[in-house]
Structure 1
Amino acid sequence: MADDRKALGRWGEQYAAEYLQQLGYQLIASGWHCRWGEIDLIAYDQATLVIIEVRTRRGTAHGSAAESLTLKKRQRLARLLQAYLQALDAAQTPWLGDYRIDAIAITLSRGQPQLEHFQAISIE
């Protein structure tokens, strides 16, 4: 069961990455880890650094993928963003530009992905 969820998550991240590239985002990393967790995707949207959380669900029996992005998860994303920015500083490549947190929710309905892209999500 856990392997099945991981495979679904990896598929969702790949699907989201392809979607973002079609929009012109420049992907720079995936699966970045630190003590607070993992950032699914990191990209540039023109001159803005964007970290992207990808949520993928099969159906809506337990809520949609978008509904799974709870306040607690959004706050964790804010900590992850700060950790990533600190890692850039530590590597002596500080980021001085704009940044934001996006979320992509993918819900499979009858095998067809329904994608929602939320830009600059609130952490409150």
Structure 2
Amino acid sequence: MAAVASPCSSSSPEPAGGPASSRPRREDPRRTLGRLGEELAAAHLERLGYAIVARGFRTRYGELDVVACDGHTLVFVEVKTRRGRGEPWDALHPAKRAQVRRMAREYLAHAEDRPRVPELRFDAIGVVVDGQGRLVRLDHLEAAF
């Protein structure tokens, strides 16, 4: 029996990390923290029944953190991660929201295998982790902007 493709399925592979190097690279701690937050946010969305259709989609305006789909709505998710008691929402200012909208337009225009669903939405997920990288708090704001 052949599998039926969901409107949220994507056949494109995850972005490659680039050419391998024999010398280990030092990673920026902010990138490491951001990636951890995106992993936690993606796992949260999958638990809610969303399919993750893109992560780290690069555009000329920046990089979309997560694009998810529930079969009816394509959701562009901005993830803000802080360590300790930081407040993730401080960085979700109007200029950042406008940037995410521009990146979403680029995704819609250039992602050939994107899901074709009737609704679009912009969510924000705030992640707070402790010093060891363990989840302290995760707040998901649907239709944040």
- Name whichever structure is richer in helix by fraction: 1
Query: Does residue 68 of structure 1 match 2:91?
Result: yes
Identity of aligned residues (%): 38
- Answering whether residue 24 of structure 2 is matched by residue 3 of structure 1, we say no
SS in structure 2 at match of 1:49: strand
Q: 2:68 aligns with which of 43, 48, 58?
A: 43
Cα distance between partner residues in 2 of 1:69 and 1:93: 25
Q: Secondary structure at the match of 2:106?
A: helix
Name the SS for the 1:67 alignment partner.
helix
Asked if the contact 1:105–1:116 (Cα under 8 Å) also holds between the matched residues in 2, the reply is yes
Seen in structure 2, the aligned counterparts of structure 1 residues 68 and 108 have a Cα distance that, compared at 3 Å, is same
TM-score by length of 2: 0.72
Shift of 1:113: 2.2
Partner Cα distance (1:65, 1:59) in 2 = 11
Equivalent pairs counted in the alignment come to 118
Farther off after superposition, 103-112 or 31-40: 103-112
Do the aligned residues in 1 keep the contact of 2:73 with 2:121 (CA within 8 Å)?
yes
Q: 2:129 aligns with which of 108, 117, 121?
A: 108
**Distance in 1 between residues matched to 2:33 and 2:80, nearest whole Å:** 10
The partner residue of 1:16 within 41, 44, 60 is: 41
Q: Kindly indicate whether the alpha-carbon contact (under 8 Å) linking 2:71 and 2:117 is maintained by their aligned counterparts in 1.
A: no
Query: 8 Å contact 2:108–2:114 — kept in the other structure?
Result: no
Indicate how the Cα distance of structure 1 residues 112 and 92 shifts in structure 2: closer, same or farther if over 3 A, else same. Answer: closer
Matched, 1:85 2:85: no
- In structure 2, list runs of 5 or more residues that go unmatched: 1-25
Q: 1:45 to 1:2 in 2, by over 3 A?
A: same
- Higher radius of gyration, 1 or 2: 2
Which structure carries more strand by proportion? Answer: 1
One of 82, 99, 119 as aligned partner of 1:98: 119
